[in-house]
Amino acid sequence: MIPDVVVLSVRPVELIRIIQAYQYETGKRVAASMGGLRVVDSDLIVRPYLTQDINISSYCLGARIVAGYESDRLGIGMPFHIFEVIVQAMADSKTGFPFPLYPGAAES
């Protein structure tokens, strides 16, 4: 069964690697929309499902206290089709961003 949305709890360094891979593959930026309550449901599941795009959240107090998310974790939610793009992009970008491929980069 394929999920509608994939939610990951990551450290900031892992979050930036995910965003870099997404941008490497698509050229798109990630814009976050965060609330202060029930963020796992609203920010990380419902928003990605409705917008069909990535969303990021710093978690709310309930998620941190009740669910036990550690203080060094952030949440990222995305539709499954974007998760597939990111998985491929992680492999494609594992040696770094291809700066030599940019026009004019060889002359510098």
How is 77-105 classified by DSSP, letter by letter?
Answer: EEEHHHHHHHHHHHHHTTT---GGGSTTT
Mean pLDDT of 100-107: 51
- How far is residue 71's CA from residue 60's CA, in Å, rounded to a whole number? 11
* Single-letter amino acid, residue 81: H
> Could you read off the pLDDT of 35-78 as tens digits, one per residue?
888 889 999 999 999 999 999 999 888 888 888 888 899 999 99
- How far is residue 54's CA from residue 84's CA, in Å, rounded to a whole number? 12
The domains of the chain are located at 5-95
